[in-house]
Structure 1
Amino acid sequence: MIVAGETRSAYFLQEEEKRIETHTLSVLVDNEPGVLARVVGLFSGRGYNIESLTVSEVEHEKHLSRITIVTAATLQVLEQIKNQIARLVPVHRVIDLTHIGDAIERELALVKVAGKGDHRVEALRLAQAFEAKTVDATLESFVFELTGTPSDIDRFVKLMTSCGLVEVARTGLAALSRGKDGL
């Protein structure tokens, strides 16, 4: 917090500009061929990384899709990314859900675990603790379905490693802002 009359050194401001932060962007676009490729092309062409990407049609009658992108960048680069995406013709709106604060974020994961005896019992106990649903079970393995925040899923996967984790499939982040306003 800056107090009235307080000055900040240029060094401090320079440090702040270089700090990399993770942000969730929500982009409303026309649902037409090539739009996703153009949006993703902005990232790859400039060396920006996409940590999570989800896209789906959200208004069938209006042919609109929502793209949710999680990326890590400095605030300056993030502004550049948002401006470049907004300039694409089929883009209707770009919102930084992290900037507006307290967005609801969820992800779905399928987690396969193989094991017998105590490992099997522990896997079931952990799945119950995380409220994961068992969607497949054999005598030697389970597939659990888990919905939650990315950090919850990370914790579940880490714990399942000791129980015989085989593989994980994740959907990517779905996010909405809180309150009455939409994208």
Structure 2
Amino acid sequence: MSDLATAHKALSIAQAIANDIAAIPAPTKAAKPTKHQRAWFAVPADRQAAALKALADHERGEKPAGSYDNASRWYPDEEFECCALIRSPSRAWPFSKLKHCLSLAHKEALHNAEHDDVLALRRVLMEHAEAIDAGLPLVTQESKAWLEALPLRQAADESAGTDLPSRKPVRL
């Protein structure tokens, strides 16, 4: 499956989670929405979609479009306002822009998402993950499958006993 198809599937399942959250019955004595769920309810639908796209893109962790120069410095194809304060790549720090382009702040700028909306979504997803770990029936099976298939969780499981690669530059 291509990365684009995976992203679309992750986005559709994330939207299903948002629908699951919206389907929570009105607050009663026994079941009140948490403060994180209330914060997510307050976000308009168009901003929810942008937050879903930004978080899915960040979780995927793909290298953005860019190019290398003859000194192996990486430059992005397009820059946003968030990139203005990042140091220009040099021979000593050739990937300064790449590191920034992989950050959540850059993904938010790329998808025109607001930081507070993305954080609200992340908090709700963490609540769902904790509910799954505790065995609470707060999410559907589709939502549970999506949370278990997040690339971040897969990478953590696969690299549990391995050493991190060295970040020292290699000389040719």
TM-score, length of structure 2 as denominator length: 0.27
The TM-score, its normalising length taken from structure 1, stands at 0.26
Answer 1 or 2: which has greater strand percent: 1
Q: Considering fraction of residues, name the structure with more helix.
A: 2
Larger radius of gyration: 1
